[in-house]
Amino acid sequence: MLFKSPRTRGAGVRAVHARNGFVTVAILLLFSGCAAVRQAPKDPQDNDAVLKELDPYFHGAVVHQYYTEPDKTRRVAMRNEIVTNRVRAYDIEFSRYKNQLSEFGNSVSLGGDLIGLALGGLTATVGNAATKAALGAASAGVLGATTAINKDLFFQKTLPALKSQMDANRKKMKVPILRGLMLSDDQYPLSAAESDLQNYADAGGLEDAITDITATAKVAERAADNEIVSIRTADDFIQLPDKEAIETSVTGMTDSQVLALAKLMESNLPRRPDDVRTAVQTLDPDARRLNGDVARARVAMMAWLDAEVMNAANKKQWADAIKAVSN
């Protein structure tokens, strides 16, 4: 029990009982609220089932078929299928790992902080001295424990940086795989891909992320100078005339038109590939393009266009937006 029953009588007893009842209910509610707030929407996909489906790509008949396939073109297709499905499995596991980290860190710090703050608040508002003392001690205990855990695990402040570093490490290790998938089987056999895949799987570890961050200690600087590596295809050259036509239109826009274009295109940004989103967010991290900063809007739009895969759907979005702001 956190507090003693007060020794009063009559109406005073009822009032104190009512107050104590409120405190008890409040504490129960607070502790029942310790469950972690989800850091990401629930995945509607049954990942266990997907991982089971992907299991054959790690061993067995599928791999055996690849090694016994005499036709080189078919071997490339089989290699790419095996590699992309393994990458998918690693991505699912990594996503789970990140969510677990978030939910653990969140349940410790958020739940503990809220309980501590709420107990502290109640300590200041309830009248009885004994209750105040008990609540104050409980509050200090909760906050003290939370602070100790956070110090040990670096979760409260460093988890976002660690997750960014893990993402960066994985992206870096994915490049050789994506490059390899563009090559012939002679140039990039499955055995070579397996080595790269292992590096990719290992790159999502917490220890590497901590090591990298500690080694450079320049997270903010890296965020301001973001390098985005992508494997592109000949489509970029085929689409160049369409892209240049749109770039010419945007370059010739007035300031107000560019600002309006940035706002119109914003709803499309979340569905763009990682390189487009990263480029725009790196160049305009605080989204000033949406709040009247013309220079930011211009550079963000031009970098977006540079990174854009100008397929028919994306071309139409740009054309529609340009038309809308030009009227």
Partner 1 sequence: MPRATLVYQYPKSSVTLDQVQQMQQSKLKFGASSCVLTSDDQFWILTTVWTSPD
Q: Which residues bind partner 1 (CB under 8 A)?
A: 175, 179, 182-183, 187, 224-234, 236-237, 240, 243-244, 247, 251, 275, 278-279, 282-285, 293, 295-296, 298-299, 302-303, 305-307
Q: Which is nearer to partner 1, 114 or 178 (CB)?
A: 178
Q: Which is nearer to partner 1, 56 or 252 (CB)?
A: 252
Smallest gap from residue 244 Cβ to partner 1 (A): 6
Q: How far from 60 is each of 51, 88, 181, CA to CA, in Å?
A: 15, 18, 21
Q: Which is nearer to partner 1, 211 or 251 (CB)?
A: 251
Smallest gap from residue 98 Cβ to partner 1 (A): 24
Residue with tokens 């996909």: 45
Q: Which is nearer to partner 1, 65 or 251 (CB)?
A: 251
Triad 258, 260, 264: Cα angle to 5°: 115
Smallest gap from residue 122 Cβ to partner 1 (A): 45
Q: Which is nearer to partner 1, 196 or 284 (CB)?
A: 284
Under 8 Å CB-to-CB from 8, ≥6 apart: which residues? 16
Nearest to 107 by CA among 191, 38, 198, 42: 38
Smallest gap from residue 312 Cβ to partner 1 (A): 20
Smallest gap from residue 232 Cβ to partner 1 (A): 5
Q: Which is nearer to partner 1, 194 or 293 (CB)?
A: 293
Smallest gap from residue 298 Cβ to partner 1 (A): 8
User: What token pair was written down for 304?
Assistant: 């977006």
User: What token pair was written down for 131?
Assistant: 């209750």
Q: How far from 90 is each of 18, 154, 247, 280, 298, CA to CA, in Å?
A: 55, 25, 37, 27, 37
Distance, CA of 78 to CA of 67 (rounded, Å): 10
